[in-house]
Structure 1
Amino acid sequence: MMLRVDAHQHFWAVARGDYGWMESSPSLAPIRRDFIPNDYEEFRTRYNIERTVLVQAAPSIEETEYMLGLADATPWIAKVVGWVDFEDRSHRRHLERLARHGKFSGVRPMIQDIADIDWMLRPDVQWGYDAICALDLTFDALGFPRHLGNFRRLFDRYPKMRVVIDHCLKPEIRNQSFDAWAAGIAEIAAKTPVYCKLSGLATEAESDWKVAALRPYAEHVIGSFGANRVMWGSDWPVINLAGGFDAWRQAAEEIVGNAAARDRIFGGNAAEFYRIT
């Protein structure tokens, strides 16, 4: 039996003060409060989730240290995806230090929040990808459909980098925008070894979304990457803005369907990619 894993969830303590994005819109008010491991227990129990991957939500080394502290105190937090400043080459020392922690997996620069669409290809940030490869760490690719071309170039440039695309690269579901995103996703899936997280789709849909609205996007991701390179993530507590954990989990289960694929998508692939035992 494969491990059941939530490949993408968050915890945060608002008073830490480095979650600037939370102040950007009144619509974020429902999640502008602390979320800690005890708050997640009901979902772990309900869906028999044995391990989770805790992902950064602030652009600071301090938040990464905070998350590793939570992981040290919480056996079921299997891995932490943190952050370093790609614009500061001296942060190589942080990567080297963090890589020695058994629960540190890799990093996620907040590319979706960077105005320069070509930022990821700038010469001054390439040291970061080189270090990820050298230290055998993971890279969570966070962006929008407009980043598809540059991500393809990045993945080609670093074929040995262990990469997973977050949130299916956030297709514009509420605008029923599909074709350009779908073509870019299919190309990356066919031409690179990267994985993709089946997460974040509900957040990109209308607030009263139905499974039928998400299905074409989810099925395209699964069809493109195959059942062995797709991993389900809750994106909790952000998912509270788009129907909640239960609605998204049940929609994903309905869409995935096939029993063999379920084991891989709801745990096996995340365990393989993040090296969770």
Structure 2
Amino acid sequence: MMAKLDAHMHVWSLARGDYDWLTPSLADIYRDFCLDDVWPDAQQAGVKRCILVQAAASAEETDYLLSLAANDDRIAGVVGWVDFEAGNAVGEIERRAAQQGLVGLRPMIADLPDPEWILQSRVAPALDTMSQTGLVLDGHARPDLVPVVTALASRYPALSIVLNHAGKPPISTGEVDTWLADITVLAACPNVSTKLSGLLTEAGARADDAAIGEIVAHLAACFGPRRVIWGSDWPVLTMAGTYQEWAGQSERLIARYFPGNEDAIRHANAARIYLGNSGGRLGQA
């Protein structure tokens, strides 16, 4: 088995003070997290490297993550943040694209009051620059934003987009018909991939293989084996289960719905889409 690349992890230090969404009400994750906290479990699950994803809408946090990546071989890349509305957004994206370790950007669109913010003309220069530099746009999404991501992908066909957490399907309620239809339309855009991550957090009491499997089956049917990327969403994952629980469940579902393509989901797709290579340097497990 080829070693896994966990394509969606976070680390944070509360003392940094720019995690606006992270409040004491989220008691389970309102503390510092570093890679060493999870790495024994990640290694047991066959993970060799990871991609860190921003958790704060600040340039300072991106610098923090890049500083970690520069000194830790476990970190394959960083998905950072840039102010797309800033007067120097184009220059800043070009500068960031040249930085060692930066593989993508994630505007936190699900936290903004305007659901169509990403489609406004004032952010178009930033998106054009991302297309030109090859940076991946991580789609910070929720179910109602899936059509927005579709519009974005259609407008910027050269922009590689990775939908985070499969758009957070409402597994807990079972009311997934709209999500199923919207994902079918989104997946018709060839520049869009999706992360097989965050599903346990959305499942609530419906965390069994059957309920989550319905979601994975649809992703497999729509995106195929080359546009689905595995990740954990640790430490947010810990609000719903352990790293080992998600690793085990996702292994079963990947084997069931992507037979013969397990290594593509577990590492090769992320290596190709984010790192521009086949991922061979990740080695064998």
Say whether the fold is shared (TM-score over 0.5): yes
What does 1:197-276 align with in structure 2 at a 5 Å threshold? Answer: 197-207=195-205, 209-257=207-255, 258-275=258-275
1:92 offset after TM fit, Å? 2.5
> Where does residue 170 of structure 1 map in the other structure?
168
Q: Secondary structure at the match of 1:175?
A: coil
Report the Cα distance in structure 2 between the residues aligned to 1:167 and 1:58, rounded to whole angstroms. 18
- Comparing 262-271 with 97-106, greater Cα deviation is found at 97-106
- Alignment root-mean-square deviation, CA: 1.5
Tell me how far apart the structure 2 counterparts of residues 115 and 29 of structure 1 sit (CA, whole Å).
25
Distance 1:135 1:212 in 2: 41
- In structure 1, the gaps of 5 or more residues are none
* Letter in structure 1 aligned against 2:100: G
TM-score under structure 2 normalisation? 0.92
Measured after TM superposition, the shift of residue 261 of structure 1 is 1.8
Deviation beyond 3 Å, 4+ runs, structure 1: none
Write the mapping of 1:1-277 to structure 2, written as runs, cut at 5 A. Answer: 2-23=2-23, 26=25, 28-207=26-205, 209-257=207-255, 258-275=258-275, 277=279
Q: Deviation string for 1:110-159 (max 9, x for gaps)?
A: 01111211111111111110110121111001111111222111101110
* CA deviation after TM superposition for structure 1 residue 259, in Å: 5.0
Shift of 1:256: 1.2
8 Å CA contact 1:71–1:77 kept in 2: the answer is yes
Q: One-letter code of the match for 1:141?
A: G
**Are the aligned partners of 2:104 and 2:274 in contact in 1 as well (CA < 8 Å)?**
no
- TM-aligned CA distance change 1:208 to 1:171, over 3 Å: closer
Range with bigger deviation, 174-183 or 51-60: 174-183
What amino acid does structure 2 have at the position aligned with 1:39?
D
Task: For 1:104 and 1:3, locate their aligned partners in 2 and report how far apart those are by CA, in whole Å.
Answer: 22
Checking the alignment, whether the CA contact within 8 Å between 2:50 and 2:75 is kept in structure 1 is yes
User: Shift in Å at residue 3 of structure 1?
Assistant: 4.6
Comparing 235-244 and 182-191, the one that deviates more: 182-191
More displaced 10-residue stretch of structure 1: 266-275 or 183-192: 183-192
What is the number of equivalent residue pairs in this alignment? 275
Q: Is the 8 A contact 2:171 2:206 kept in 1?
A: no
State the TM-score, normalized to the length of structure 1: 0.95
SS, match of residue 98 in structure 2: coil
Q: SS of the counterpart of 1:50?
A: strand
Secondary structure at the aligned position of 2:161 is classed as strand
AA aligned to 2:40 is E
- Name structure 2 gaps, 5 residues minimum: 280-285
Structure 2 residue matching 1:8: 3-state secondary structure: strand
Report the AA paired with residue 5 of structure 1: L
